[in-house]
Amino acid sequence: MIHTREILVDGESYKVTQFSASKGMKLLTRLIKILGEPMASFFSNPDAEQEMAFQVALAALSDKLDEDVVLATVKELIDSLSDGDGQISFDTHFAGRFGHLFKVLGKILEVQYGDFFGVLVAKGSGVQAAKRAKTKTSTHAGLST
């Protein structure tokens, strides 16, 4: 069943309507192509400082970016968004408001894919924590004589 959820970003109210399963899968595949490697690199090094891990992930992301694919993907995500006046005009509503745009996109992703990405993030965090614990145990085991 397709639901509509109200979101609030920077004091502005929007409605996000869930995609059909077909459209959602198509966009999810594209998002994974764009974000998959950066997310993997972010979660793969549990010992790295968060800032350093973020830099590595950002570098991997920038290698994959194609401006036309990113723009088409963002516009398709925005298609699920409306305000009190109806559908949002991407080019006028977000002109000069890129910080706001990315906050809105984050909320849209939460509505559309929260159950999927939430599990991935939780699993990735769990893997990082397990690797850190294993590293600490190995380090402490080597120190005790």
pLDDT tens digits, residue range 44-73?
A: 666 666 566 666 666 666 776 788 888 898
Percent of the chain with pLDDT over 90: 37
Residue 124 has pLDDT above 60, yes or no: no
Give me the residue spans of the domains in the chain.
Answer: 4-143
The more confident residue out of 14 and 133 is: 14
**145 falls in which pLDDT band (50, 70, 90)?**
very low
Task: Give me the mean pLDDT over the 130-143 stretch.
Answer: 53
Q: Which of 108, 55, 53 is nearest to 77 (CA)?
A: 108
DSSP sequence for 72-128: HHHHHHHTTEEETTEE--HHHHTTT-HHHHHHHHHHHHHHHHHHHHHHHHHHHHHHH
Residue 127 has pLDDT above 60, yes or no: no
Tens-digit pLDDT profile for residues 95-114: 999 999 999 998 998 999 88
Sheet-wide strand order for 12-17:
4-9, 12-17, 81-83, 86-87
